[in-house]
Structure 1
Amino acid sequence: MRESAFVKRNVKKWEEFENLLRSDSSDPDKLSDLFIQVTDDLAFARTQYPESRTYIYLNDLASKIHGKIYKNKAEDRKRFVEFWKYEVPMIMFEARKKLLYAFVVFAVSILIGIVSQKADDSFVRTILGDGYVNMTLENIKEGDALAVYGRGSQMDSFFAITFNNVRVSFFAFAAGLLLSLGTGFMLLQNGVMVGCFFTFLAQQGFLNESFKVVMLHGTLELSAIVIAGAAGFVMGNSILFPGTYSRMASFKKGAIKGLKIVMGLMPVFILAGFIEGFFTRYTSMPWILSGTIIFGSAFFIIYYYVVYPIKLANANRKNIRA
């Protein structure tokens, strides 16, 4: 094929490619397809017209497309970092009242569980089931009240626990569809369970041991439930109180914000599952080590979900004023 015919056949396509490159909102998939087509034309030109201006032009065009693709990939990686560095903390700042509501509901629910178990020793069987209670009593007779955490392989436990944490927290968020009442019920249910569980072990004389072992992973796990509850309240309140938006538009905004909070919890779920699967099984761990993990986890949760969002919001206000 003559060079002039080759150019005439493809020039409109190349011009379209150049227009796409100049666009700020280039589709990555379209760019990839574009790169394949241009490199095909470039390979043909290299074979047929190696010293021509057409070959030089296509080589330059392919280089530009290649650069655009890798620029987009770099922006995607930057976006990934900014999600946890800026986006989640700013949403948590907006949702700080909902986080407080979730914490209060959960704390009151724990108190209900404590008082109920103290008032009736059999209450724990209603909440945790006869099987779990009988197993724990048997473990106590054998000298290890929390032996249940040492069963199963570490890796299997890690995956099972992480999946369960994600499931419980997602349900706490999704229950916000029931106008926040569903989320409130989920927090109530889990809080009563926690209060009842620790009171039961305290009645058996194992409060210190149970706190040291369970809170290794429980600090992150229970915090995640409360934060997911805040996400549920964000979504539920967006339906109840749409403000100046239509109810549907408000719901969409609330659902997206709530979902981002839950997605931002993924590293917490993974870390909690890792600790429970690989560390909690060592029930005789010294207090100095377990205390370091517990208080380190608590510091991370308080800083990232409460302190850092406030600092970030204050910094943004100063930048705006400046």
Structure 2
Amino acid sequence: MVNATRFRQAHEEDWERLDKIVTAIEKRGVRGVPEQALLVLPLLYCSTLSSLSVARETSLDKSLVAYLEQLCTRAYFQIYGVPTSPLRQLGHFFARSWPKAVQALWKETLVAFVLTAAGALVAYLLIRNNPSWFYVLMPDNMAQGRDPTASAELLRSTIYGTGHDGSTDQSTLAFFASFLFTHNAQIAIMSFALGFAFCVPTAGLIVYNGLTLGAMIQVFAAKGLAYGFVGWLMIHGTTELFAIMISGAAGFRIGLALLFPGKLARADAAVAAGRSAATAMGGTVVMLAVAGLLEGIGRQTITADGARYAIGIAMLLGWMLYFYWPRRNDGAAA
């Protein structure tokens, strides 16, 4: 039977020394601690971990066990963890983790783009040849009267928020814009969440989103308003649609890992693919928030088609550079 008092007296000096070093690192960082202390840190950690094992096996004082558990946990994170502040970790996410995760999904993102474009083209051609296809492809709650029978004035008010007399109708435009944003956000989330079902639902959602996009463009094009409608969409749509494609790409990555796990078990392959896919998907929340801000600004303050196109194209180029600009590997950064 281990004597608690003698056990504490024999090891307490090492515990206290470890506590002081860990506390110093937590307060000042690694650079604020002497090199000698850093060299002895792993030895003190192993010694304290051994003390904790003995304390548990011999049922020593519970408060002592709790103290040693807490001390070992703190030391572990300083030795094996990432000793950076939350702010620095957030900066690393935006500077490297997120863009590199999206960059790794470029093939899947390209597939999502092709599916979206194909869906839009099919819907556009179908409705141009037979307007009744619009009612097959578009849900009533999304169309809200913006269908092949709508007047040019009504459709124009959707783009510019003006009625017959030139007065602003921001309430109608706000409703339509917010509905589109909510719809696209749901598509983005579901495209990622359903990727585990071997890519099929994800591909279906991406194509469906393209179909609704093409259907709406054709309705406005039939009234000579295609240029204005596409400009209204572009100011926020280049960001919003890009986010959906990245979400779909993340879903594809997980689904493909399940379909073709290679030498890994399917569950292990899905977990490995899910790490990078989840990082890419996490950043799309930021993209959707940016799209919401652009939509609000564009709807309320920017009505010139040229300015809308310029902002939409600039945002697309900005995202492309941000994601696909070559970056050094983390190991080469030293």
TM-score (norm 1): 0.70
User: Which residue number corresponds to residue 144 of structure 1?
Assistant: 157
Report the counterpart of residue 131 of structure 2 in structure 1: 121
Name which of 202, 209, 217 aligns with 2:221: 202
Alpha-carbon distance in structure 1 between the residues aligned to 2:273 and 2:251: 9
Contact residue 234 and residue 313 of structure 2 kept, 8 A: no
Displacement after TM superposition at 1:10 (Å) = 9.9
- Equivalent residue, structure 2, for 1:83: 93
Pairwise CA RMSD: 3.8
CA spacing shift, 1:20–1:157, aligned 2, 3 Å: farther
Name the CA shift for 1:17/1:229 in 2 (closer, same or farther; >3 Å). farther
What is the CA–CA distance in structure 1 between the aligned matches of 2:10 and 2:207, rounded to whole Å? 67
**Contact 1:125–1:133 (CA<8 Å) still a contact in 2?**
no
In structure 2, runs of 5+ residues without a counterpart are: 1-6, 28-74, 163-168
2:128 maps to amino acid: K
Q: Give the Cα–Cα distance (whole angstroms) in 1 for the partners of residues 13 and 134 of structure 2.
A: 73
Q: Does structure 1 retain, via aligned residues, the 8 Å contact 2:187–2:209? A: no
**Structure 1 residues 304 and 202, CA gap change in structure 2 (3 angstroms):** same
Percent of residue pairs identical = 19
For 1:127, the aligned partner's letter is L
- Report Cα offsets for 1:61-107 as digits up to 9, x if no partner: xxxx9xx9xxx885322111111211122222322211121111112
Cα distance, 1:96–1:134 mapped onto 2, change above 3 Å: closer
CA drift of 1:130 comes to 4.4
Question: Which ranges of structure 1 fall in alignment gaps of 5 or more residues?
Answer: 1-7, 29-64
Secondary structure of residue in 2 paired with 1:151: helix
Paired residues for 1:163-202 under 5 Å: 165-202=184-221
CA contact (8 A) 2:234 2:309 kept: no
CA-to-aligned-CA distance 1:116-160 (integer Å, 9 cap, x gap): 112211212222234654623556345524349932797x99988
Alignment of 1:37-186 (within 5 A): 74-130=84-140, 133=143, 135-136=145-146, 140-142=152-154, 144-146=157-159, 147=161, 150-151=170-171, 165-186=184-205
Structure 2 letter corresponding to 1:135: G
Cα distance change on mapping 1:134 and 1:228 into 2, 3 Å: closer
Contact 2:157 2:173 in 1 (8 A): no
**Post-superposition offset of 1:12:** 6.5
How has the CA–CA distance of structure 1 residues 101 and 206 changed in structure 2, closer, same or farther, with 3 Å as cutoff? Answer: same
Contact map agreement 1:175 1:186 (CA 8 A) in 2: no
Q: Which residue of structure 2 aligns with residue 316 of structure 1?
A: 329
* Distance change in 2, residues 1:222/1:153 (3 Å): closer
Report the Cα offset of residue 289 of structure 1: 2.0
**Structure 2 CA distance for partners of 1:289 and 1:73, relative to 1, 3 Å:** farther
2:321 corresponding residue in structure 1:
303
For 2:229 and 2:176, the matched residues in 1 are separated by 19
**Amino acid corresponding to residue 151 of structure 1 in structure 2:** S
Partner SS for 2:267? helix
1:229 to 248, 263, 288: 248
Aligned pairs, number: 265
Q: For 2:235, which of 216, 219, 237 is the aligned residue?
A: 216
Contact 1:139 1:145 in 2 (8 A): no
Give the conservation status (yes or no) of the 8 Å contact 2:228–2:305. no
Contact 1:145 1:206 in 2 (8 A): no
Query: What's the counterpart of residue 289 of structure 1?
Result: 307
CA 240–263 in structure 1, closer or farther in 2 if over 3 Å, else same? same
Stretch moving more, 92-101 or 128-137: 128-137
The amino acid that maps onto 1:302 is M
Match of 2:295 among 256, 260, 276: 276
8 Å contact kept, 2:158–2:173:
no
Instruction: Give a deviation string over 1:212-239, Cα, whole Å, max 9, x none.
Output: 1122111111111111111111111111
CA contact (8 A) 2:235 2:295 kept: yes
Give the distance between the partners of 1:265 and 1:278, measured in 2 at CA. Answer: 20
CA shift, 1:178, in A, is 0.9
Highest relative contact order (Cα 8 Å, sep 6+), 1 or 2?
A: 1
Matches of 1:260 and 1:317, distance apart in 2: 16
Shift of 1:317: 10
For residues 157 and 199 of structure 1, do their structure 2 counterparts lie closer, same or farther at Cα, with a shift above 3 Å needed? closer
Residues in 2 aligned to 1:158 and 1:16: alpha-carbon distance in whole angstroms:
61
Matched AA of 1:298: L
* TM-score, structure 2 normalization: 0.67
